[in-house]
Structure 1
Amino acid sequence: MKQLVETIAKALVDHPEEVRVNEIVTEKAIVFELSVAPSDMGKIIGKQGRVAKSLRTVVSAAALQEQKRVTIEIV
């Protein structure tokens, strides 16, 4: 799942080498902290948060297999 978030994020930004994904696992949830270069922040968030919402939707659909709640935080 971490690889999925990282791959999608790298495809969206101008500086893919600065994409970092930190995974925090608890009993019922998985939190991914996504950090990118400051100049790429707008590309990850998108207009009115549409790109971020789409990224969260894709990861949530992939997380149905693990029966855990998945959250993406853009740092």
Structure 2
Amino acid sequence: MRALIEYLARALAEHPDDVVVEEEHDGDRILLYLYVNDEDKGRVIGRDGRCANAMRSLLHVAAVRAGVRATLNIE
């Protein structure tokens, strides 16, 4: 799941080397923190949060297939 979010964020960002994804496990829950360059935040979040919501939807599908719950926070 971490690799999925990292791949998507790097594809959207103009500074892909600044993309960092941190993962925390809390029982059956996975928390993903996405850090991007300040200039890329608008691109990664998207207009009205569309890109962020799309990434969260894909993350949800991957989490359901793995039998866990996942949350994405964009910092």
Same-fold status (TM-score > 0.5): yes
Count of matched residue pairs: 75
Question: Percent same amino acid at aligned positions?
Answer: 36
Aligned equivalent of 1:48 = 48
Normalised by the length of structure 1, the TM-score is 0.96
- Rounded Cα–Cα distance in structure 1 between residues aligned with 2:11 and 2:44: 10
Q: CA RMSD in A?
A: 0.7
- Rounded Cα–Cα distance in structure 1 between residues aligned with 2:50 and 2:23: 22
Q: Describe the superposition over 1:20-74 as per-residue Cα deviations: whole angstroms up to 9, x where unpaired.
A: 0000111121010000000000001111111100000001101112211110000
Structure 1 unmatched ranges of 5 or more: none
Q: Which amino acid in the other structure matches residue 18 of structure 2?
A: E
Aligned equivalent of 1:68 = 68
Could you list the structure 1 runs, at least 4 aligned residues long, displaced by more than 6 angstroms after superposition: none
Q: Which amino acid in the other structure matches residue 40 of structure 1?
A: D
- Rounded Cα–Cα distance in structure 1 between residues aligned with 2:29 and 2:21: 16
